[in-house]
Structure formats: C-alpha cells, structure tokens
A and B are shown apart, each in its own frame.
Chain A
Amino acid sequence: MTVVTDDLDPLDRLESAEQIRQLVARFAMSYDARDLDTIARLYAPDVRDGLMATLLERMPRGRTFHLTASPYVTFETADIAYGDVVGRSEAEVGDQWMVMGVRYRDRYVRIEGTWFLHSRELERLYSCDVLARP
C-alpha cells in the first residue's frame, strides 16, 4: 500500500495536513462548546448554510464530548483532500449517557490558502449507553 499518492511539494503537503488536523480538532471542540460561529467558519462557504442547518437539526440538547484521533489525509490535488477520522464521542441524551465509536469520512477543500470542511459522512461503529456493552 502506498500512503502518499500525490506529487505535491512536501512542505506544502505538511502544511496542508497540519491545517486539516487543526480543522478536525477545532470542529470537535467547537461542537462540544456549541461555538456555532467557529463551526460555520470551518465549513466551505458554498455549502455552509446547508451544512449548518443539518448540524443544528441533529445537535443534541445535552452535553457532548468528542475525542478524535488524528485524521489520515489523502490528497487528490493540492487543494482537495479526503480525511478519515476515528474517534469516540459521548452524548447526554435524556437520562442516558451514550457512548459511540465513530468514523468520519471527510472531504476538504482549500480556498485562497485556507482549508475548509466540504462534507462529512458519519459512520457509527457502535452506539450504546455507557453502562451497557456494545
């Protein structure tokens, strides 16, 4: 398996991977803090309104805690990349405390030097109350 499939300038690829790691981390923290302005700025401008509407619709009222691992990133071009992020998320739902193993499949785009989240597909590997076994 080849990990690097592009022929980008190594310094540019390192910077892009770093910006994308920061994007993923900032998204997770902003979600748990309900910092909607920051989340909106992380979405690409052309999809921002639609993705924010969906996000708000699904946002639980209770507390959440997202622990994400570093994404691995694959570059299609210097300005389009795909990320795969595995994490653990927790959510207070009524009198239950849900724990989930999650995987996000992301698409990122770079516009005028800044990386944005363009789409995110959520896959739940398991989901159950913290006192139950998956």
Chain B
Amino acid sequence: MSGTREERLERLDAYAQIRDLAVRYAAAMATKDRETLGLLYVDDVRVGGGLTGRDALREAYFGDTLDRLEISVLHAGTHVIDLDAQRPDRARGSVFTIAQIQDGERWIRQAICYFDRYAKRDGTWLFLSRDHQLFYGADYEQRPNDLPPANWPASDTGTGTLPFGWPTWAAHASAS
C-alpha cells in the first residue's frame, strides 16, 4: 500500500473498523439489541418513505422483524471491503452470513449476502445502508434446491435473489 505512514494506518483502521461493524451487527441481532443496531448506522440514515434517522430505522427494520424471531444467530463470514479510492470517508462491502433462526415452530437456516455502504463520521465507520440479499432460506429439514421464491422479507424461506442477480452468474450460466 502506498502513501504516508499516517495514510497507511488510516486505511488499516478503516478495514478493522468495518470488519468490526459486521460482527457487531451480528452480535446485536443475536441479543436483539435495538439500541446498538441503530448506533451502527449514520445518525441521518435514510430509511425510505422520506424517513431518516436511527429511531425511524429501529422501527422500520428492527421492530416487527425482530419481535417475530425468537432466536436469531448470525455468523458473519467472508467479508469483502472496497475502500473508495476517491473518497477516504466512504467504502463498500459484501458480507456472507449464515443465519440460524427460530420462527415460531420452524427452525430455519438462511444463506445471506449483505451489500453494504459505509461512511466515516468523526473518526468512526458506520453503515450508510445494508442491503440484505438472500441466497436461500430453508427449514432444517428442507433442501434449498427447488424452493419457491422467498421474496424476502415477505418470507424467511425460499429461493432468493442470489446468485442469479450477479451479471457474471447469468453470463456464465448462459455460456455453459
């Protein structure tokens, strides 16, 4: 990596903080810690429908969804981080995650990829946004092979948007 010693340390700090964000999110989901979940995002986070801010986010994303799930254990794995070469306060990332979820009588496994945008505010890296894309959600007694579409968040189980949504997947599938 190039740059001054200070710039190099700043980049390393960015990687470390961003990796930590994904892990903190997983831990806060497991403990249903809505306070912390909100604090992992920028304070003016856009929630949709013209709403902004952490409280609106907690209500929209971590309200009913978390209430419905009894156990929700997220295991964040593969984490690709792309620091923005033009803007040192911006980055993107993709986090592969396996979720183990109790939904009423059902015990579910989800394979997820979160597509993240991060921003640095006052020295701290935070989520600008997290886009949850599903590979599949399946009951533990189901094979994921031929499930109907999940249309998440409408359903926690079913076939997701990945890998089909990657242009490279479509190109490879049509070529082979």
Contact = CB atoms under 8 A, between A and B. Distances in A.
B111 interface: yes
B78 A68 contact: yes
Interface stretch (B27-35, B39-47, B50-58, B166-174): B166-174
A33 B2 contact: no
Given A63-B163, A67-B75, A34 B169 contact: yes
A95 to B, nearest CB: 6
B79 A63 contact: no
Given A11-B5, A11-B8, A28-B96, A68 B77 contact: yes
Contacts of B15: 18, 22
Interface string A48-85: 00000000000001011111110000000000000000
B168 A29 contact: no
A35 B168 contact: yes
A60 B4 CA distance: 44
A32 B165 CA distance: 11
B21 interface: no
A36 B75 CA distance: 27
Interface in B52-66: none
Interface residues of A, number: 38
Interface of A: 11, 14-15, 18-19, 22, 24-26, 28-30, 32-38, 61, 63-69, 87-88, 90, 92, 95-97, 113, 129-131
Given A67-B75, A67-B98, 7 more contacts: A11-B9, A24-B78, A29-B78, A33-B168, A67-B77, A68-B78, A69-B77
29 contacts: A11-B8, A14-B12, A15-B12, A18-B12, A18-B15, A19-B1, A22-B80, A24-B78, A25-B78, A25-B80, A28-B78, A28-B96, A29-B113, A30-B168, A32-B96, A34-B166, A61-B176, A63-B135, A64-B163, A65-B135, A67-B96, A67-B97, A67-B98, A88-B98, A90-B111, A92-B145, A95-B143, A97-B145, A130-B143
